[in-house]
Amino acid sequence: MLVILPPSETKVSGGDETTTLDLAKLSFPTLTPVRQAVLEQMVALAADPLAALKALKLGPHGLADVERNAQVFSSPVMPALSRYTGVLYDALDIPGLDSAGLTWAKDHIAIFSAAFGLLQADDLIPAYRLSWDSTLARGKPSRVWEPVGAALWAEVDDFVLDLRSQGYRSLAPVPMDRGVFVTLVQPGPVGERKALGHANKKTKGRLVHELAHSRAAISSVAELVEWGHDRGYVFDAASYASGRIDLVTSGS
């Protein structure tokens, strides 16, 4: 299986000072030309800091992120799973996994970035700032990622557990026959459940930690429901429709 997470706006700075970005070494090479084009647009936009702040939806304190984009081809890199931080990644708690769980995480976790598209956990990337709703010279990131979605998912052999936010999912939706998109909702009747809200990210992080800890091997929606039943996660089979399923939780 492949578990796809959203990126985070906050990122760890730095990396191995002897390294820089090598697009040819990233996973899913069908995305290389798009990655190159997006990053070049980011660099060009950074040449006008005020325009960049507006396009990236940042305030005056965001100039450091604009500078990150200006140096995206020359700044040091680190594994994607170490680069991203924040509530979800804190709850994922990679340092708390044993060696087997850590190996599972590196093999089965991916992140879908507006700048890089789909990344494996150990792909080496620099710090940057670009969100799914940012604006580049050629428009929103969805304009470049949507057209390559079919080719991308053809490269992915595993059952996909899509834990992205709706915004990042919109960049390249997973085909219905390739996996399932998980919607975190509060208890209630099917079709009337409210979104989980502020506990969404923390719950996703804990879920993926448990997937890694248990070294989950899931290849269908039915197996996901069964895995959840055994570990206290209510994936409601009755809610499954059009490639998405409810994970019913209070978030506590």
SS3 assignment for the chain: CEEEECCCCCECCCCECCCCCCHHHCCCHHHHHHHHHHHHHHHHHHCCHHHHHHHCCCCHHHHHHHHHHHCCCCCCEEEHHHHECCHHHHHHCHHHCCHHHHHHHHHHEEEEECCCEEEECCCEECCCCCCCCCCECCECCHHHHHHHHHHHHHHCCCCEEECCCHHHHCCCCCCHHHEEEEEEECCCCCCCCCECCCCHHHHHHHHHHHHHHCCCCCCCHHHHHHHHHHHCCEEEEEEEECCEEEEECCCC
Mean pLDDT for 78-99 is 96
Those residues whose C-beta lies under 8 Å from the C-beta of residue 197, and which sit 6 or more positions away, are 186, 251
Write out the two tokens for 82: 């170490």
Those residues whose C-beta lies under 8 Å from the C-beta of residue 46, and which sit 6 or more positions away, are 52, 66, 67, 69, 70
Q: Residue 252 pLDDT > 90, yes or no? A: no
Q: Quote the CA–CA distance of 223 and 37 in Å, as a whole number.
A: 39
Q: Quote the CA–CA distance of 105 and 99 in Å, as a whole number.
A: 10
Predicted pLDDT at 138: 85
Mean pLDDT for 199-213 is 97
Give me the percent of the chain exceeding a pLDDT of 70.
100
Q: Quote the CA–CA distance of 71 and 51 in Å, as a whole number.
A: 17
Strands 179-185 and 160-162: parallel
Q: Residue 217 pLDDT > 90, yes or no? A: yes
| Torsion over CA: 150, 156, 162, 166 (sign) | negative
Q: Residue 137 pLDDT > 90, yes or no? A: no
DSSP-assigned beta bridge partners for residue 246:
183, 236
Reported as a pLDDT band with limits 50, 70 and 90, residue 36 is very high
Q: Residue 30 pLDDT > 80, yes or no? A: yes
Q: Residue 133 pLDDT > 80, yes or no? A: yes
Q: Quote the CA–CA distance of 139 and 56 in Å, as a whole number.
A: 12
Predicted pLDDT at 56: 95
Instruction: Indicate the domain borders of the chain.
Output: 2-248
Read off the pLDDT of residues 165-204 as tens digits, 9 standing for 90 and up: 999 999 999 999 999 999 999 999 998 999 999 899 999 9
